[in-house]
Every structure is written in structure tokens, then in C-alpha cells.
Structure 1
């Protein structure tokens, strides 16, 4: 069952509400393939049967408790600058949490942390034409009112604030932050990236990482303009691309 509700996400576009789906990103991808959506159109659901994050990691969420939504963007962006999307989406989520007095951090490459626990995740899937990004589907999951996370290093707005937050109210805050960040997309990107870097989780701390061949410890010192994380390993700087390593919890 689905219904259409009006909203102001990206110039009064349409948001589709579905009680459940496989994943909100897949839902929009199917519509995009049939030319049924425009930039700014979105889908929101109460439950995903196959919600996922980067590298096909599962995203587990209690039915009806959290924010699960995706939207379509058509950014004026070359392929080499795809990281800019991660910057503006991450900054928008941090800004939204700040508006309710919560201070989040950005865990490279696609999670938002609060008090050393995951509170939100981002999944951006882009469609490329030549050297340009033709369109991007942005998926955002935010732990809002879930009270228990069995076996997961996670938290929620409810756990942090000790009270229920109205979903529609926070979605409105989030959409306003996303609009502001996106409609100023090409302005002051260097400043935005500096802000992103200052918000990095575990910046200048030694953390455990996993590559395809080993587990190692390194200090997080920077993120490059193309989104690579820069680590200090045995007093030598080395950069790693998105997907080549993962940051592990101790």
C-alpha cells in the first residue's frame, strides 16, 4: 500500500510513502528506470526487508521506529567529484542533529556516529554517463525512536534524549538541511570539505582497520578531496579509497 503526500523537499516535489519495501533505494531505482520520477522525488518507509548500506552490508531497523528514506538527485557533477555528494549529505545530517542539540561525527566513509555509536547511515548510488554523474539515489537511515539494538554498536535519538521524537518533525528538519546544502552545492565547496574534515570521527586517533589482506592499526589524519582516507601507518602517510578498507570497532 502506498500514498502520495506533498512536501517541500527540493521545490515541492512528491514524496511516496510505503508501509514497507525491499529497500527505499531499490524502490526509487525501479521508478527511475521507467522514467517515473524527477529530481527531488523521494520515498519513505516504515520497514525495509532488505535494507543495506555500503558494500551490501545489511541495515537492520525496527519497524516504524526510525527514518528510512531515499531521494533522487541530478547533480551537476563530474565522476571524479562524487565525494562532494557525501560531503553535503553528511554535513546536512550533522546539521539536523545539531538542531535538536545532538553533536554527531562523520565516520568515514558513510556513517554518522554519536557518542562512539552509529546513529545514521548513508548509501549513495550513482548512475554514470561518460564522465558525468547523470543521477544519484541517496538513501538515509536514521535511528530515531528505537530503544534496543541487540548485538550492534548503535544508538538512537531516543536513547540520547530519553524521549520520543516525532518522526514527521525530524524529517522536516532533515529535509530543510538537505535543501540548504544541495541548493548551494557549487558554492564554497572547499569550506564544506573543511567542515566535513573537522567533523571526522576519531580524527587523529589510532584505530583498527581491515583490508582485503590484513587487519592493521593506523592514525586517521585526513580525507582527500576525492574522498580517500589518509592514514599514518608507522610514520608514513598512505591513502585508501572508499571500499578498499573498513574501520573496525575495537
Structure 2
């Protein structure tokens, strides 16, 4: 079992930040993960916040040492998103992946991922994988897209510890495949939210309607712009979904 060193905290500002703070400590090595009952300042992509009721959800940051080229940085993102997809599938929940790293069910967000990497030359030496998965929370503030949870989808309460262990096991299996060069690009692309569906996006403060076609190996999103009939490529910070 790879993930066998756990630090659990009743409350913390951010599990990712806490794990990063251990960087110069001997404990900072692959297999370490941090969990908390409550995150005071949970964060997502592009400084978005993450809301979570105490003890109702899974808030976890995992440390791995992938030792892969910086050119393959999006491999880690795909690994984690597909692992969450696999976990939800175990419970009969059909999810999709909102590029680059949100998990969506029926147009509602159930999980988010924030990955922070440490580089040595052109190699990713360490990756801190932050995951927020809504499990038993029944009410949320208003978000775009709206939030949901396993409880709201299945009208059932779940043991967060069991779900945590299942997710860690799934991540370990996929991580081992990554280490031997397995490509999950097609798998990720087949599970993209809004794939080939007309939707409104914004880039450079200009809105347009387009259809998601695919992602490239480096994580670039390819969208067919319906206004001019041209395929355009976007990095994460260059595109916003307009709900």
C-alpha cells in the first residue's frame, strides 16, 4: 500500500498549504497524505474557494513523487480526475470531467482538484494533489455551476473514511500505470463534460459559442468556435465557462 502515512487535523486553513509547509521535513515523502474535518480556507483553481461542512466531506492532500518530465504535467491531472470518476462509478454515479479538473454530475459539481507541483530542472519531483469531494453535505451556497454531493445524488449517508480509502486505492492503481507509461488520454477525452455540445465560453473578455472537441496530451483544450468555424486551443487560465 503506497498511501500509508496520514496526518489528520481537526481543522486547517488548507491541506495543500499544510503539506507544502512540511517540505523540509523528513516526513515529506511519497505516500504521505493530509486529511481534515474542516478547511478554513479551502482553495481551488484560479483562487476559487471551496465550501465544506465539518466532517461531511472528504478533504485530502496527497503527496507523490512522479519523477516525470514537465511536458507530461497534465498526466497527473488526468490520473486524479479519472480516479474520482472510477470511485463514483462504484456507487452507481455517472460523472463527467469538466476540463481541466472538476467532476460534474447532472450539471452540478461534486468534486474539485488542485495540483501543485515542485520541479527539479525539467522534472516534476513532487506533486501535491488536493481533492475536495462532497459526500454527506445536504445544502450549499449558490455557485456556478451549482454544487451537489453523493448524499444529494443517492439520498444516502456514507462513511467518509471508507470512501477515502477506496479513492486512495484507485489512485494507487492508476499511478502505477502512469509510472510505466500508460496513456489515459483517450479515456479522459471520452468522459469530458459538454463534449461536442454547443456551449457559451469566454476568452479575453469576449464570449463565444463553441463545442469541445478534445484535449491534447499536454492538457490543452480544443474547441470548435461556432462563430467562425475555426478550432481554437486554450490553456486553463485562458477560458471560462459561462453558465
Output the TM-score relative to the length of structure 1: 0.92
Q: Secondary structure at 2:167's aligned position in 1? A: helix
Q: CA deviation at 1:150?
A: 2.2
1:232 paired with 2:211, answer no
**Hey, what's the Cα distance between the residues in 1 that align with 2:40 and 2:200?**
31
Q: CA deviation at 1:24?
A: 0.4
Unaligned 5+ segments in structure 1 are: 1-7
Q: Secondary structure at 1:185's aligned position in 2? A: helix
Q: Secondary structure at 1:19's aligned position in 2? A: strand
Q: 1:29 matched to which residue of 2?
A: 20
1:112 paired with 2:103, answer yes
Q: 2:149 matched to which residue of 1?
A: 156
1:205 paired with 2:159, answer no
Q: CA deviation at 1:35?
A: 4.1
RMSD: 1.3
Q: 1:5 matched to which residue of 2?
A: none
Unaligned 5+ segments in structure 2 are: none
Q: Secondary structure at 1:243's aligned position in 2? A: helix
2:197 and 2:212 in contact (8 A); partners too: yes
Q: 2:170 matched to which residue of 1?
A: 177
Q: 1:54 matched to which residue of 2?
A: 45
155-164 or 167-176, which deviates more: 167-176
33-42 or 195-204, which deviates more: 33-42
**Hey, what's the Cα distance between the residues in 2 that align with 1:126 and 1:188?**
19
Q: 2:238 matched to which residue of 1?
A: 244
**Hey, what's the Cα distance between the residues in 2 that align with 1:140 and 1:35?**
23
1:127 paired with 2:124, answer no
Q: 1:71 matched to which residue of 2?
A: 62
Find 1:167's aligned residue among 160, 169, 173. 160
Find 2:10's aligned residue among 15, 19, 22. 19
Find 2:88's aligned residue among 78, 83, 97. 97
**Hey, what's the Cα distance between the residues in 1 that align with 2:100 and 2:60?**
19
Structure 1 residues 66 and 236: alpha-carbon distance in aligned structure 2, compared to 1, 3 A threshold: same
**Hey, what's the Cα distance between the residues in 2 that align with 1:76 and 1:172?**
24
**Hey, what's the Cα distance between the residues in 1 that align with 2:41 and 2:112?**
15
2:98 and 2:104 in contact (8 A); partners too: yes
**Hey, what's the Cα distance between the residues in 2 that align with 1:181 and 1:43?**
20
Q: 1:195 matched to which residue of 2?
A: 187
Q: CA deviation at 1:187?
A: 4.1
Output the TM-score relative to the length of structure 2: 0.95
Q: Deviations over 1:109-140 (max 9, x none)?
A: 11000111100000000011211111110000
Q: CA deviation at 1:248?
A: 2.5
